[in-house]
Chain A
Amino acid sequence: MNSALLSTRGLTCRFGGLTAVDRVDFDVRPGQVHAILGPNGAGKSTLINLLSGELRPSEGEIHYRQRPIHGLPAHRVARLGIGRSHQKTNIFPRLSCLENCRLAARIHLGGVIASWRSRATARQVDERAEQALATCQLSHRAATPANAMSYGEQRQLQIAMVLATAPTLMLLDEPLAGMGREETARVTELLGALRGDYTLVLIEHDMDSVFALAERITVMVDGRVLETGTTDTIRGSSKVRDVYLGRHQQEEA
């Protein structure tokens, strides 16, 4: 089709009478940080859920590395190297940070049986989990149960778990949601460090972070793509200003 790592054509998702995602064409280029913007209810999370296989599209296609993946269950999509984090904190509360990451790493290193069979694989799982924690600056928390950590740290752990799956493409649904200013800065920096090594699709409301991180931005309104382009294009787009940023400013005025 094109050089895109992931692309959708005519992607549509309906819930009864509501069309949450409406004929979306969306391309993610390898190695880029691609942000999705839009007001609440624009269909951003639904789009991510479609990409990750957690929802099935009503119509349309999703291609990953030129291969169709629409209709695959979530675990198959994840195994292809598409990792995701959720808007709501989604960790295993009773397990320690390291165990959370091990669980994430293990299924991508041959699963339970491979770790059972081979010490070397089990060690590889440990290493990858520790590395993911280190990248997210959580090494000192390795043995802490996830439910004993602060909210911000839990959000960081969530990113660490995605990293531990060694994904090619990361789908991050509002990784900064509910964070304080200091935590936002720290995680923005962390995400910036991942740029280049991974392809990122990012839903985020924090404009400063979005414009600092993203190379391309897609603006969605009412389930449709309003505009896609580089950060400068989006900044300069009159359509976006009118419909999204404009409305925002009017509300403030």
Chain B
Amino acid sequence: MLHRYPKRVPIMMLTLTAILVLYPLWGAALIGDGSEFFLEKLTLMLILGLFAMSLDLLVGVIGLVSLGHALFFGLAGYTLAMASPSYSAASLWWMMPLVMLVSALSALVIGALVLRTRGIFFIMTTLAFGQMLYYLVSDASFTGGSDGLFIMFKPTLAIGDLTLIDLENPLHFFYFVMGVTLLAYLFLHWLIRSYFGQVLDGIHDNEHRMQALGYATYGYKLAAFVISGVLAGVAGMLAAMQYGFANPAQLGWHLSGEVLMMVILGGMGTLFGPLLGAFAYELLHYAFEHLTVYWQLLMGLTIILIVLVLPKGLAGLILDPPRFRLPGAGMKGLFRSGPAALFKARLGPALPHEHDEGRHYE
């Protein structure tokens, strides 16, 4: 019952997937010259969607708010850059497992430490680990300092001499990223409905009770932290392939904050929400950036407005579609109770339950 959604959710997700898959058919016609550029934007949105989903496992499902999730994202980029040969392309067959292994090990070590803390202290320790690595790579010479490292060749995906997917080709890369994101979505979708996921739900609602029942909650949280770190690492590797470099900004707390906003914007704990949240965030970002140099001001205001009007994010909008029936009789009621009634009417079903209050900070 938890994490079970009405049919319109899979239908919507399939429709959006189909629209993206068919991009070559409509992209050039609709956007024209900028279609190549927009394809790269879409690829980035998919990557960030994967990143946001990985964070959602911690923030939305277990209720662990991490402000250092970009650590795994950036670390994977550096792993790719440092492990790639200088004058030829690496093979994705070993690069991908390597990146996942590095992410898993770092998540295991960091998770083992930060999961000993709770609430605000968890936020602070994750932030601290993220910043530690940030300053390390910004200053160390082997990581290229604040310039970062360049990745001259994208890894290849080939069997023998046969190239399966040419990742240098933006369209191929787009499809590849899409496949990875889709696989990650299906995996997480299965995971949070599994017995393991039910334990995570239990920890979210009442960790103390889980322990009293006999669950060693620390181990479950650590396992989820590692899974989340690995998926963030995969996203980070794809991003570094896309950018062609690994840069300290890819693991700074700015990005950790941004991905958290994507999760909140999309709707915590819903998985498809954060995926949509990443798209929405990037689209807003892109639109505001073109409007004014003070785009961050607009961005901030928009986020605040959305959080106020849609406490469950975009997912809440889909799961609990707003009813436009106003209190009182139609327009008369609106005039009597003012525009606030409009918001109230929309807020109604989306308000969190009483049990939701403050549970992330228990």
Q: Which residues of A contact B (CB under 8 A)?
A: 52, 54, 73-76, 78-79, 83-84, 86, 90-96, 99, 102-104, 106-108, 112, 115-116, 122, 143, 145, 147, 161, 165
Q: Which of B199, B209, B216 contacts A91 (CB 8 A)?
A: B209
Q: Is the interface of B mostly helix, strand, loop or mixed?
A: helix
Cβ of B355: which chain A residues have Cβ within 8 Å of it?
93-94, 147
The answer for the CA separation of A78 and B215 in the assembled complex, in Å, is 8
Q: Which of B201, B202, B205, B213 contacts A165 (CB 8 A)?
A: B213
Instruction: Please count how many residues in chain B sit with their CB below 8 Å of the partner chain's CB atoms.
Output: 23
Q: Which of A79, A116, A145 contacts B214 (CB 8 A)?
A: A79
Q: Is the CB of B209 within 8 A of A95?
A: no
The answer for the CA separation of A69 and B214 in the assembled complex, in Å, is 14
Q: Is the CB of B211 within 8 A of A116?
A: no
Q: Which of B195, B208, B216 contacts A106 (CB 8 A)?
A: B195
Q: Is the CB of A90 within 8 A of B199?
A: no
Cβ of A91: which chain B residues have Cβ within 8 Å of it?
206, 209
Q: B265-290 toward A: CB 8 Å interface, digit per residue (1/0)?
A: 00000000000000000000000000
Q: Is the CB of A94 within 8 A of B205?
A: yes
Q: Is the CB of A94 within 8 A of B201?
A: yes
Going nearest first, the 10 A-B pairs with the smallest beta carbon separation are A78-B214, A93-B355, A107-B214, A92-B205, A112-B195, A74-B211, A79-B214, A75-B211, A90-B209, A75-B216
Q: Chain B's nearest CB lies how many Å from the CB of A208?
A: 28
Cβ of B208: which chain A residues have Cβ within 8 Å of it?
54, 90
Q: Is the CB of B201 within 8 A of A112?
A: no
B1 within 8 A of A: yes
Tell me which residues from 168 to 223 in chain B have a Cβ below 8 Å from any Cβ of chain A. Answer: 194-196, 198-199, 201-202, 205-206, 208-217
The answer for the CA separation of A29 and B278 in the assembled complex, in Å, is 60
B2 within 8 A of A: yes
Q: Is the CB of B195 within 8 A of A93?
A: no
Q: Is the CB of A165 within 8 A of B199?
A: no
Best-surrounded residue of B198, B201, B217 (most CB of chain A within 10 A): B198
Nearest chain B residue, comparing its CB with the CB of A81: B214
Q: Is the CB of B215 within 8 A of A107?
A: yes
18 cross-chain CB contacts under 8 A: A52-B212, A54-B212, A73-B211, A75-B210, A76-B216, A78-B213, A83-B213, A84-B212, A90-B206, A92-B202, A95-B1, A95-B202, A103-B198, A103-B199, A112-B196, A116-B195, A145-B1, A165-B214
Q: A54-B212, A86-B209, A107-B215 are in contact. Are A94 and B199 (CB under 8 A)?
A: no
B7 within 8 A of A: no
Q: Which of A83, A86, A116 contacts B194 (CB 8 A)?
A: A116
Cβ of A78: which chain B residues have Cβ within 8 Å of it?
211-214
Q: Chain B's nearest CB lies how many Å from the CB of A178?
A: 17
Q: Is the CB of A99 within 8 A of B212?
A: no
The answer for the CA separation of A165 and B2 in the assembled complex, in Å, is 22
The answer for the CA separation of A68 and B208 in the assembled complex, in Å, is 23
Q: B330-355 toward A: CB 8 Å interface, digit per residue (1/0)?
A: 00000000000000000000000101
Q: Chain B's nearest CB lies how many Å from the CB of A147?
A: 6
Q: Is the CB of A92 within 8 A of B209?
A: yes
Cβ of A95: which chain B residues have Cβ within 8 Å of it?
1-2, 198, 201-202, 205
Q: Is the CB of A92 within 8 A of B211?
A: no
Cβ of B215: which chain A residues have Cβ within 8 Å of it?
75, 107
Cβ of B194: which chain A residues have Cβ within 8 Å of it?
112, 116
The answer for the CA separation of A78 and B355 in the assembled complex, in Å, is 25
Q: Is the CB of A86 within 8 A of B212?
A: yes
The answer for the CA separation of A161 and B209 in the assembled complex, in Å, is 10
A-B contact sample (14 more), CB < 8 A, given A95-B198, A103-B202: A54-B208, A54-B211, A73-B211, A74-B211, A90-B212, A92-B202, A92-B205, A94-B205, A102-B198, A103-B210, A107-B213, A112-B196, A161-B213, A165-B213
